[in-house]
Amino acid sequence: MKFYHELVPVILSVSVALVPHQIANALPAVEVAKIAKSITVLIDNKDVFGSGVIIKQEGNTYTVLTAQHVVSNPSQYEIVTPDNQHYSLNYNTVKKLPAVDLAVVQFTSNQTYAVAKIGNSDDSIEGTTAYVSGFPRATAAINNKIYTFVDGLITANAAKPLKDGYALVYSNNTLPGMSGGPLLNENGELIGIHGRGDEADIEVSQINSTVAYVKSGFNLGIPINTFLRLSANIGIDVGVRPPNTPVATVAKADDFYIQGGDKYKKGDMKGSVADYTQAIRINFKYVDAYNNRGVALANLNDHKGAIEDYNQALNINPRYGNAYNNRGVARANLGDKKAAIEDFNQAIQINPNDANAYYNRGIARSDLGDKKGAIEDYNQAIKINPIDADTYTVRGVARADLGDKRGAIEDYNQALKINPNLALAYNNRGLARSNFGDKKGAIEDYNQALKINSNLALVYNNRGLARGDLGDKTGAIEDYNQALKIDPNLALAYNNRGVSRYQSGDKNGAIADFNQALKINPHSADVYNNRGLARSDLGDKKEAIEDYNQALKINFNYADAYYNRGITYYQLKNKQAAIADLEKAASLYIEQGKIDFYQETMQLIKRFQQ
């Protein structure tokens, strides 16, 4: 008798970006890059590190402005200058500004280093160019802290800052470790300090076919004018006075925009939608607010509403690449993969270096069965961004689907090298190891995934399968119980628990589980096949045949159902029907390359013909 177990790999869903990526420069970007590199320093110690910017020289003493959280703990820090010289930082000289996430530190050197030119952050309005520089943290894949310079656009400059003084919002693709680095305008002037960004993917609590890794694109900085107004409190004078900006008495669109992004980051999607709506009421052409409201609506599963917002953003700016990307995400979630691919194509045409759009198009192609096309897109995304663990993970799934299990494991290994806390990659590598017959290695991976996130129902399901294959039926059932505790509608866990109960001799318990699985998913040929086996063993041959018939109605080429129905017909003394079913099963096994099953079936046919 042939049972069907369900192993579930994880396909990451398309990622969403909140902000546009266009460039309009006064100085050529390469000139701003030179300025940024000359003034940006690494602030390093054994536990925490970040970036900073040189804002003053007085004799041999240099003053560096950074984010306060970079130097929040008393410790031994080093300042690493652009010429790779290391200078010790005397923590007693650290000065923290009141009520904002800013601090200044000092180092001494007889070398000459460039000092940042202070700009006017009030002039940095929506749509103006911005640059961020700093030192992203090292990973297992890249073990050095490599200086990075990224461009983007200002998307908001709020009059009413968020907590800790954050008021500037920008689209730059920042990374962990860049906190404290300079935010420069198109003239290479310092207009803010970068402090918070879209620096980590957010894993949802469940793994299933629509698991999402969402990128918010909400980067925050503290305006340099804020520093200038507070610097006298810590006795720092950089020779520049802040402008006499009138105190805002009425909230402007940017104020609601930044609040909407802050609520989005905190998971308050309804509050985020409300704030973006207020921003749009004040400025009905606020393209970023339409785009971002669409993302928040999508997180509320209102994909049609999201598409309306993306359409509006594209009406205002037909070259808004991320709105095409995000509309493609919404269309994919509504099942229209072909239209989604058209949107991703458009996003890539606008920005050929949009790794997200390649990633998303790869997901859509994979969903349409084009695994090779998907891999081509993942390859391109990795070429653009070689340290994105998610892309290695989904490429591993596509390789596994094409039978390249070793290549899949290599990709999962690389993903985990970049992000050792990626539960999805552990789950998927466990599946690949299980398919190689390494059940113990698979269980180790499932254990690690559950150590990272103990609320993953499908990982319990997969570990249950591996335990069952090793003969631990009790442990398998415990895992299925846990999976169903987390997700009571997980039909495949009912199916798999039913198989374990059947194999443990509990045929009635098995049927109860198969019934529950079919109640949740009445279109599963596999569960009908399994229930037919249990019914047959309990003597309900006619009901068993009805189940096999139903399985074959759903899947006419289901070899196992023909095989099992053939045996049941033989038990009912209907030799002719039994042999016909077994011959059909044998032909399907040959087509599917299941030689062992074919040979077993042919032996049965010969026996039945005697």
The DSSP string of 180-220 is T-EEE-TTS-EEEEEEE-S-S-EE-S--STT--EE----EE
pLDDT of residue 495: 96
Alpha helices in 283-370 (DSSP H): 287-299, 303-316, 321-333, 337-350, 355-367
Same domain, 446 and 561: yes
**Cβ-based neighbours of 39, under 8 Å, separated by 6 or more:** 53, 54, 82, 113, 114, 115, 116, 182, 190
In a domain, 178, yes or no: yes
Same domain, 474 and 427: yes
pLDDT of residue 367: 93
pLDDT of residue 3: 40
pLDDT band at 196 (very low <50, low <70, confident <90, very high): confident
Locate tokens 């300025």: which residue?
Answer: 35
Same domain, 577 and 593: yes
Task: Give the pLDDT confidence of 177-195 residue by residue, as tens digits.
Answer: 889 999 999 999 999 999 9
3-state secondary structure of 248: coil
- Mean pLDDT of the region 528-553: 96
Residues 524 and 547: beta-carbon distance below 8 Å: no
Number of domains in the chain: 3
Q: Name the domain boundary from 364, 387, 410.
A: 387
Q: With b meaning 16 or more CB within 10 Å and e meaning fewer, what string describes 408-437?
A: bbbbbebbbbbbeebbbbbbbbbbbbbbee
Share of the chain above pLDDT 90, in %: 76
Residue 88 has pLDDT above 60, yes or no: yes
Query: What count of Cα atoms within 13 Å lies in the side-chain half-sphere of residue 7?
Result: 22
For the four alpha carbons of 165, 171, 177 and 181, in that order, the dihedral sign comes to negative
For the four alpha carbons of 277, 191, 173 and 453, in that order, the dihedral sign comes to negative
For the chain, give the mean pLDDT.
88
What are phi and psi for residue 103, nearest 5 degrees? -155, 155
Task: Give the pLDDT confidence of 345-402 residue by residue, as tens digits.
Answer: 999 999 998 898 999 999 999 999 999 999 999 999 999 889 889 999 999 999 999 9
Same domain, 401 and 380: no
Q: Looking at residue 223, which CATH number applies to its domain?
A: 2.40.10.120
Task: Give the pLDDT confidence of 263-318 residue by residue, as tens digits.
Answer: 998 899 999 999 999 999 999 999 999 999 999 999 999 999 999 999 999 999 99
Range of the domain at 332: 320-387
Q: Looking at residue 556, which CATH number applies to its domain?
A: 1.25.40.10
Q: Name the domain boundary from 387, 407, 441.
A: 387
Residue 45 has pLDDT above 50, yes or no: yes
Same domain, 473 and 376: no
3-state secondary structure of 266: coil
pLDDT of residue 315: 97
| Residue predicted with more confidence, 7 or 596 | 596
Q: What is the C-alpha separation between 422 and 428, in angstroms, rounded?
A: 10
Same domain, 165 and 238: yes
Residue 201 has pLDDT above 70, yes or no: no
Q: Against a cut of 0.85, is the pTM above it?
A: no
CA of residue 533 relative to chain centroid, distance? 40
